[in-house]
Amino acid sequence: MRTLLVLFLILLAVPAASYAQSSGKPQDGTLSVREGRGMIFLNVKGSITGRFEKGKLTITDPNPYDSKRPVVYGSKKTTYRGAKTTTYQGRNIRFRLIGARYQIRIEGRGIFLSAIGRGPGILDGAGDTQAGIFYDGVWSLNEEEYHSLPDEATSFKLMAPPIP
pLDDT digits (tens, 9 = 90+) for 100-143: 899 999 999 999 999 999 999 999 998 666 666 568 899 999 98
Q: Which of 29, 31, 95, 34 is nearest to 59 (CA)?
A: 95
Contact 140, 146 (CB under 8 A): yes
pLDDT digits (tens, 9 = 90+) for 64-75: 888 888 999 999
Contact 34, 137 (CB under 8 A): yes
- Strands 85-125, 29-60: pairing is antiparallel
pTM of the model: 0.80
Contact 64, 146 (CB under 8 A): no
Judge whether residue 3 has pLDDT over 70. Answer: no
C-alpha 115/C-alpha 107 separation (Å) is 16
Judge whether residue 39 has pLDDT over 90. Answer: yes
Domain extents for the chain? 26-158
C-alpha 160/C-alpha 162 separation (Å) is 6
Helix (H) or strand (E) holding 4: helix 2-22
Contact 153, 40 (CB under 8 A): no
Identify the DSSP state of 150.
P
Judge whether residue 15 has pLDDT over 70. Answer: no
